[in-house]
Structure 1
Amino acid sequence: MASTQKQEACCAGGEGVESRCRVESLVSVDERGQMVLPKDFRDRAGIKAGDKLVLVSWTRDGEVCCMSLMKAESLADMVKDRLGPLMAEIT
């Protein structure tokens, strides 16, 4: 049976929520632009072969200054949560 309890995105803050940011590891980019996420991190993050990740970037003065990866399904859920009520009002 599917859970009806709504899950919040992991990176969404809130009252009573303990969150933190930390350096996980140093990865290298090869000549084809590929990199390997360490196995222990993939295991903790629940990332499996074939999973889709979204690369989110922040720019400052026209240059990328920060980047983050998140599971595509997490982004889709956040978009639905934000746009769902808006779309319901429009239709």
Structure 2
Amino acid sequence: MTQKNTEDPSSQKNDSDCGCGGETGCRIEAVLSVDERGQMVLPKDVREKAGIRTGDKLALISWEKNGSICCLALMKADNLSCMVKDILGPLLNEQDRS
């Protein structure tokens, strides 16, 4: 008797997957075009939803796989510095106690 493969093909890991699949809460907000100067425009509704205002700094975060960047993300730089402080703060405090 031939055994049928009942595993869902969408649950199988693809070598080209970089780990930012739909189950992580990521979604496509907009599709951007890059002009000849390398500039992009974030749509107004996305900027408003993200609380991005004129003069705000954004951190560009990349994920690399097999020597090539596969994904890019933007984060408000203020949020990034807060995350770093949250992660490193307890470690630095622990070292100070030693």
Normalising by the residue count of structure 1, what TM-score does the alignment of the two structures yield? 0.76
Which runs of 5 or more residues in structure 2 are unaligned? 1-23
Moved over 4 A (4+): none
> How far does residue 89 in structure 1 lie from its aligned partner after superposition?
1.6
Tell me the secondary structure at the aligned position of residue 25 of structure 1.
coil
* Aligned residue identity for 1:29: V
Q: Is the radius of gyration larger for structure 1 or structure 2?
A: 2
Which runs of 5 or more residues in structure 1 are unaligned? 1-18
Per-residue CA shift, 1:45-64, capped at 9, x if unaligned?
Answer: 10001100000000111000
* Aligned residue identity for 1:47: I
Alignment counterpart, residue 66 of structure 2, candidates 55, 61, 78:
61
Higher fraction of helix: 2
What percent identity do the matched residue pairs reach? 60
Per-residue CA shift, 1:20-77, capped at 9, x if unaligned?
Answer: 3211111111111110000011011100011000000001110001110000011101
Aligned pairs, how many?
73
Structure 1 match to 2:26: 21
**Pairwise CA RMSD:** 1.1
Tell me the secondary structure at the aligned position of residue 41 of structure 2.
coil
